[in-house]
Structure 1
Amino acid sequence: YGTIAVAGFGIASRVESFSQIVLIAISASIGPFVGQNWGAKKYLRVHQALRLSFLFCLFWGVLVTVILAATAPWLASLFNSNPEVITITATYLVIVPISYAGAGVILVASSTFNALGKPLPSVVMMVTRMVVLYIPLAYLGSHLFGVNGIFAAACISNVAVGLGAYIWNQKTCNIKTVSALEKKSVSAGIGQL
């Protein structure tokens, strides 16, 4: 797609990085919190922290989507004066942020699985997002819709894997499992007295 598309994507990537700092911070902090509380058998705390983290990812994703969609052309014009570059950047900033909540959920779920000593789900999520979904969808999307198809592929990949990550995480750390583990932990503690 040439230097115009590369420039537009480069600008959008910089804005995207800045807007996702909060999600990266949450994923960096949830891992130690989950690991410590899971190890201390405080499963309900883990469940509550994950619930709040996922809700925050949803809130942040919606907020950033609205802000970027409303200001996309203006933001793009701060970095470049070429109308074509501005159009590509603005298009990216309208399409891809729709999936930021999903991307946040992926980050939180991945950090959680790693903290629980289960790195395989994190690997599966990343491979699924990039290799199984994004690359084929970007290839197909670029042929059908041009550069917008590539942006849509990123969005679809983040949303699909975000939903899968949420479900997988909930099955691993669900409230029924948590309650059973806490009861077992309490019973074991009483038996030691």
Structure 2
Amino acid sequence: MTTKPSGVASNAKFTTGGTMRHVITMTATGSLGLVAIFMVDALNLFYISLLGQAELAAAIGYAGTLMFFTLSVAIGMTIGASALVSRALGQNNRTLAAENGGAALLLIAIVMTIIVAAAWPNIDYLLGLLGASGETRIIATGFLQIVLPSTIVMSIGMGASGILRGVGDAKRAMYVTLLGGAASAVLDPFFIFTLDMGVTGAAIATVISRSIIMIAGLYGAIIVHNLVKLPTIKTFSRVSKPFAGIAIPAVLTQLATPVGNAYVTAEISSFGDSAVAGWAVIGRVIPVVFGVIFALSGAIGPILGQNYGAKLYDRVRQSMRDALVFTLCYVLVVCFILFFLAGTIADIFDTSGEARALIIFFCQFAAISFLFNGALFVANAAFNNLGYAFYSTVFNWGRSTLGVIPFVWVGAQYYGAQGVLAGWALGAVMFGLAAIITCFRVLKTIEKRDDADIEPQPTLPPAANSPFSSSKGANLG
């Protein structure tokens, strides 16, 4: 079952060559663009912090928590688009890949439009559920009223980027997010300071940046690779079911994280705006320093998908092992650096009191939990691309409920805001380990299932007195 079928190589670049090289290349290029976006978000918060009002930083924190929900839905559907395209390419069927890509982008646009239309009139209410109040709530509401509609264009751009990763064009997928990040890096200070628009300026810069991401993504997927074909009603109907089969569990999986983060935000809000501001900074630091691990979960998907489509299960297994080794090495290095730069990071954002204490605690203690978060990310990517997306939903929701709520609640009761952060980190351990163990068992099950589907070739019975004349021997060959 590990012999490469003839004719697969032309469209499926990940079915040959060293798997660790593919993992590193895809992750490195994917993380550059992703970290660029997250770096801009961190700079955005940094610029806001220079205005000298704790309420502004807290408002961005609340707004970021809500935006995380819509972003998670987009990420989940991007996984569906990438998986369908990479599988079709693994089967050496480029026409099917283009049909899948076009239908997937249309589905993404429809779903995100419905979500935005439902959420926009209720922004103020949703912020209230998170614990926002007073001036902080008003500022966050104004910010989201501008930014939330742009989620639609950003989601289309992300879907196109997923198609680029599905075909293995990691460099162009990186450029999509790099262009958006570069635009935001230039526009943020211009709107915030030069035009003196404050948080409103940050929101406008975000909208422009997201529009650039969509344009760049569509150019690569449509013009460069011709992997987006406008779907007919028949094609749309055909693709909708497998897309939903991957995307719905993937979306549910992705939504688990913001649900957990929303609970953490609500618990931290009871300790005041300073604590929320510290959590907001941590929320920007995490994707910058661990953006490589976030990118890994997206990067390994097409590698697994192509090899799964080609039934190269030894390469699927080795790719997963390589991803775990990569995670271990990267997280240990980053945590070592964070330990010594904790105070510097807190100073950069001009924090004090509870905010500063939370940032330092995260950098020196809680950050190591990303060893297990990383394992969970790798397992989820495998589940989504191997046809067991339901498992990723179960593990991510387990992590964000059973792995968050009881730990965070106990931490808040006995150790304050730092206890909340400690509980959030501890919950990752059991679910990360359980997910990766289950993942390897699932792969073994798939391989056995496909081996059983191969009908044995007919063979001549051995001679009567042959040492191979047993019933077991008769099935050889």
TM-based fold match above 0.5: yes
Q: Distance in 1 between matches of 2:389 and 2:380?
A: 8
Amino acid at match of 1:8: G
Match of residue 95 from structure 1: 365
- Following TM superposition, by how much is the alpha carbon of 1:82 offset from its aligned partner in structure 2, in angstroms? 2.3
| Distance change (3 Å), C-alpha of 1:83 and 1:74 | farther
Q: Distance in 2 between matches of 1:189 and 1:6?
A: 64
**Secondary structure class of the residue paired with 1:105:** helix
Match of residue 156 from structure 1: 426
8 A contact 2:278–2:351 mirrored in 1: no
Match of residue 143 from structure 1: 413
Report the structure, 1 or 2, having the larger helix content: 1
- Following TM superposition, by how much is the alpha carbon of 1:189 offset from its aligned partner in structure 2, in angstroms? 9.7
8 A contact 1:59–1:101 mirrored in 2: no
**Secondary structure class of the residue paired with 2:413:** helix
Unaligned segments of structure 2, at least 5 residues: 1-270, 459-477
Q: Distance in 2 between matches of 1:5 and 1:33?
A: 41
Q: Distance in 1 between matches of 2:450 and 2:329?
A: 30
- The correspondence of residues 9-88 of structure 1 with structure 2, limited to 5 A, is 9-88=279-358
Q: Deviations over 1:48-96 (max 9, x none)?
A: 1100001111111211111111111111111114254222211122222
Amino acid at match of 2:423: A
Q: Distance in 2 between matches of 1:122 and 1:182?
A: 22
**Secondary structure class of the residue paired with 2:365:** helix
TM-score normalized by the length of structure 1: 0.88
> Of residues 364, 388, 391 in structure 2, which corresponds to 1:121?
391
8 A contact 1:95–1:151 mirrored in 2: no
Amino acid at match of 2:298: A
- Following TM superposition, by how much is the alpha carbon of 1:103 offset from its aligned partner in structure 2, in angstroms? 0.9
Q: Deviations over 1:171-193 (max 9, x none)?
A: 1124x975x578668x66978xx
Q: Distance in 1 between matches of 2:439 and 2:389?
A: 12
Q: Distance in 2 between matches of 1:160 and 1:182?
A: 31
Compare CA radii of gyration and give the structure with the larger one.
2
8 A contact 1:61–1:99 mirrored in 2: no
Q: Distance in 1 between matches of 2:366 and 2:386?
A: 30
8 A contact 2:274–2:353 mirrored in 1: no
| Distance change (3 Å), C-alpha of 1:32 and 1:189 | farther
Q: Number of aligned residue pairs: give it.
A: 188
**Secondary structure class of the residue paired with 1:133:** coil
8 A contact 1:42–1:182 mirrored in 2: no
1:132 and 2:402 aligned: yes
- Following TM superposition, by how much is the alpha carbon of 1:45 offset from its aligned partner in structure 2, in angstroms? 0.4
8 A contact 1:102–1:159 mirrored in 2: yes
Deviates more, 1:145-154 or 1:77-86: 77-86
- Following TM superposition, by how much is the alpha carbon of 1:150 offset from its aligned partner in structure 2, in angstroms? 1.0
Match of residue 437 from structure 2: 167
- Following TM superposition, by how much is the alpha carbon of 1:26 offset from its aligned partner in structure 2, in angstroms? 1.1
**Secondary structure class of the residue paired with 1:41:** coil
What is the alpha-carbon root mean square deviation over aligned residues?
A: 2.2
Unaligned segments of structure 1, at least 5 residues: none
> Whose RCO is larger (CA < 8 A, sep 6+)?
1
Amino acid at match of 2:312: K
Match of residue 85 from structure 2: none
8 A contact 1:30–1:108 mirrored in 2: yes
8 A contact 2:378–2:436 mirrored in 1: no
8 A contact 1:76–1:86 mirrored in 2: yes
Identity of aligned residues (%): 30
| Distance change (3 Å), C-alpha of 1:148 and 1:83 | closer
Q: Distance in 2 between matches of 1:37 and 1:182?
A: 14
Amino acid at match of 2:421: F
| Distance change (3 Å), C-alpha of 1:190 and 1:16 | farther
8 A contact 1:73–1:87 mirrored in 2: no
Deviates more, 1:84-93 or 1:64-73: 84-93
| Distance change (3 Å), C-alpha of 1:189 and 1:10 | farther
- Following TM superposition, by how much is the alpha carbon of 1:111 offset from its aligned partner in structure 2, in angstroms? 1.0
